[in-house]
Amino acid sequence: MKAFILDRYGNNDGVRAGVMPDPEVRENDVLVQVHAAGVNLLDSKIRDGEFKLILPYHLPVVLGHDVAGVVVRVGSRVRRFKPGDEVYARPNQDRIGAFAELISIKEDDLALKPTLLTMEEAASIPLVGLTAWQALIETAKLKKGQKVLIQAGSGGVGTFAIQLAKHVGATVATTTSTANIDLVKRLGADVVIDYRKDDFEKVLHGYDVVLHSLDDETLKKSLRVLKPGGRLISISGPPDPDFAKKVGSPWILRPVMRVLSYRARRAAKRHHVSYSFLFMRASGDQLREISSLIDSGIIRPVVDRVFPFESTNEAMAYLETGRAKGKVVVKVR
């Protein structure tokens, strides 16, 4: 099969177009013909070697964490899917590979594609949708009447998280640039901070939850907007000891993660709030919940650009500029 392949970390030339063996289909697996693949900064970070200690892949590896396509074949123990089904998924972290013509995915990680969406729109959803769901619904247990700050509201996670938080009934604040103010307001943001003009930590107070996705300096400022007992959930790091346990990191790395997150955890304690790092996990069950919200018209995808498969490197480079509104997608078929 044709694929975009990472041969070595830190490759300035990007990922290589080439040919890989068709994926193995185990008894609990579903073989999917890829029609579209979402592009995420996680792909670039893996390519650059930023996660090689905590997510060690055996190179060469095919990148790509979001997929939409059609079922080709199912394993002997698969019961929920059949050939011809239109599906989407964020494959498990050890089974990535959406930048290819075929991918084999565990049945439990897969869901039927929302009926209202095109393949390209569906491919934009899994990683950001699951990230927002696991941060706001599962971890924060966000409730009606609470206040949440969602950073970078015009980005992939931000555009989804704003809509999800509004559905729950929360008051939503977000940060964005001047050019994207109208977009985040249309998505439901109640309070919009133009980061080029205002300091959000001087405007916002008494918040229950912060979904953090930016740098360490922004993390420190974000702690100040939380009320005592509030929660800061970070998807950009630093990783904490609980994360090390969840991903089964070698014991020798766990003290390293404790040190990496020490300042963040200490600062949170001083403000009488909690800090946690979230690295989204695959979940077909949660994707089914998300599908029902999409098919009910409650959440809509925000897709900035769709690139042809042969332009996968260009799609990754475009996303890295930080100018994308919502998601960037590669059309494979």
Kindly give the confidence (pLDDT) of every residue in the chain, 333 residues in length, as a single tens digit, with 9 standing for 90 and above: 999 999 999 977 889 999 999 999 999 999 999 999 999 999 999 999 988 877 889 999 999 999 999 999 999 999 999 999 999 999 999 999 999 999 999 999 999 999 999 999 999 999 999 999 999 999 999 999 999 999 999 999 999 999 999 999 999 999 999 999 999 999 999 999 999 999 999 999 999 999 999 998 999 999 999 999 999 999 987 777 677 666 666 656 667 777 777 888 898 899 999 999 999 999 999 999 999 999 999 999 999 999 999 999 999 999 999 999 999 999 999
Question: Using omega within 30 degrees of 0 as the cis cutoff, is the peptide bond preceding 239 cis?
Answer: no
- Which pLDDT belongs to residue 77? 98
Measured at the CA of 103, the angle between CA 100 and CA 104, to 5 degrees, comes to 165
Radius of gyration of the chain (CA): 19
Phi and psi at residue 34, to the nearest 5°: -75, 125
Chain centroid to Cα 25, Å, comes to 25
87, 69 in Cβ contact below 8 A? yes
Strand partners, 331: 36, 308
Measured at the CA of 279, the angle between CA 278 and CA 282, to 5 degrees, comes to 125
Q: What is the DSSP string of 1-69?
A: -EEEEE-STT-TT-PEEEE-PPPP--TTEEEEEEEEEEE-HHHHHHHTTTTTTTS---SSEE--SEEEE
E strand or H helix at 275, and its extent? strand 274-277
Cβ neighbours for 87, distance < 8 A, ≥ 6 positions apart: 30, 32, 68, 69, 70, 71, 81, 110, 111, 112, 113
Q: What is the DSSP string of 57-101?
A: --SSEE--SEEEEEEEEE-TT--S--TT-EEEE---GGG---SBS
Question: Using omega within 30 degrees of 0 as the cis cutoff, is the peptide bond preceding 23 cis?
Answer: no
Half-sphere exposure of 171 (CA within 13 A, CB side): 9
CA dihedral sign, ordered 106, 107, 111, 113: positive
CATH 3.90.180.10 positions along the chain are 2-124+301-331
Which residue matches tokens 């049945």? 107
E strand or H helix at 276, and its extent? strand 274-277
Please state which architecture CATH assigns to domain 2-124+301-331: Alpha-Beta Complex (3.90)
- Which pLDDT belongs to residue 328? 98
The rounded distance, in Å, linking the Cα atoms of 211 and 232 is 6
Please state which architecture CATH assigns to domain 127-277: 3-Layer(aba) Sandwich (3.40)
Which residue matches tokens 């971890």? 139
Buried b vs exposed e over 184-221: b needs ≥16 C-beta within 10 Å? Answer: bbebbbebbbebeeeebbeebeebbbbbbbbeeebbeb
CATH 3.40.50.720 positions along the chain are 127-277
54, 247 in Cβ contact below 8 A? yes
